Amino acid sequence: MIRILIVDDDPAFGNMLAEKLHGLPLYHSKAMMTQCLNEPAQIEEMARYTDCDILFLDIELGNENGMALARRLRLAGMDGVLIFVTRFKEYAPEGYEVGAFRYLAKNEVDAKLPGYFAAALEACRQRRRKVDILCEGETVPVPVGALTYIESNGHIQTLHLEGTGRNTLQTRVTLGKLEELLQPFGFLRIHKGYLVNMAHLHSLKSTGAQLCSGLVLPVGSSNYRRNKERYLLWRAQQA
């Protein structure tokens, strides 16, 4: 079951958005569930709604700030696909801090919602996918979407995760083998010692790779041009 949450202090807009979602060809009522929150008391209790897969969140929520609310949700463990809904076509610079997936302008719902919903569903499927990796003596099903990057240190590779019970895992599987395993899921070898999930990559420059969390990882110079091309192509495919 894919859980979709719409948070907007305008009940009419929230209900309209839900109706348009339900009318899309990719929406299946038996496999998806939509809930709208629009009352101030409901919005104040949003911290307990951390188990949604797709979140449509209005940036302007009366007395509540949608960006601040998104930060609290991420800290509470919400790792769903986040689509900010805006009055105008605005792109808040701090959106990368909370892993904003898209910005949906309210006056562009008819034009943009079908494509954004299709991309969000694919992102959900990616996040639910798991790969088995031998970590510390046992095979662990690692959720691909939660794996932000892998750092190599000698014979030990450290897997960095977010939104799961553990922040890190360690394995002796070589970085080359991990690259081969994870490349089909959108992972990029940005440095001889780093493999990064492009879904968590905010920007890639010759001076460093910035993750959505703000962390900057080193970038190798030898393959930078090829990696930049691959990253730009990947981003274009997500639009």
Q: Is the pLDDT of residue 97 over 80?
A: no
Structural contact between residues 148 and 196, judged by C-beta atoms closer than 8 angstroms: yes
Q: Are 159 and 152 in contact (CB under 8 A)?
A: no
Using an 8 Å Cβ cutoff, are 6 and 39 in contact? Answer: no
Q: Tell me the pLDDT band of 85, cut-offs 50, 70 and 90.
A: very high
Span 122-150, average pLDDT = 87
Neighbouring residues of 149: CB distance < 8 A, sequence distance ≥ 6 = 160, 194, 195, 196, 197, 200, 211, 217
pLDDT at 89 over 80: no
Beta-bridge mates of residue 158 = 151, 170
H/E segment holding residue 197 = strand 194-197
Q: pLDDT digit string (tens) for 144-166? A: 888 999 999 989 999 999 877 68
- What is the value of pTM for the model shown? 0.62
Please give the pLDDT value at position 239.
Answer: 59
Asked whether the predicted pLDDT for residue 194 surpasses 90, the reply is yes
Residue 1 makes CB contacts below 8 A (sequence gap 6+) with: 31, 32, 33
CA separation for the pair 232, 234 (Å, rounded) = 5
pLDDT band at 211 (very low <50, low <70, confident <90, very high): very high
C-alpha separations of 29 from 7, 25, 34, 168 in Å: 20, 11, 9, 36
Above 80 in pLDDT, residue 51? no
Dihedral sign of CA atoms 127, 128, 133, 134 in order:
positive
Q: What's the whole-number average pLDDT of the chain?
A: 87
Residue ranges of domains in the chain, CATH in brackets: 2-128 (3.40.50.2300), 130-238 (2.40.50.1020)
Residue 63 has pLDDT above 80, yes or no: no
Residue 118 CA to chain centroid, in angstroms? 14
> Which comes out higher in pLDDT, residue 145 or 12?
12
Percent of the chain at pLDDT exceeding 70: 93
Q: What is the per-residue pLDDT across 216-230, written as a single tens digit (0 to 9) for each?
A: 999 998 889 999 999
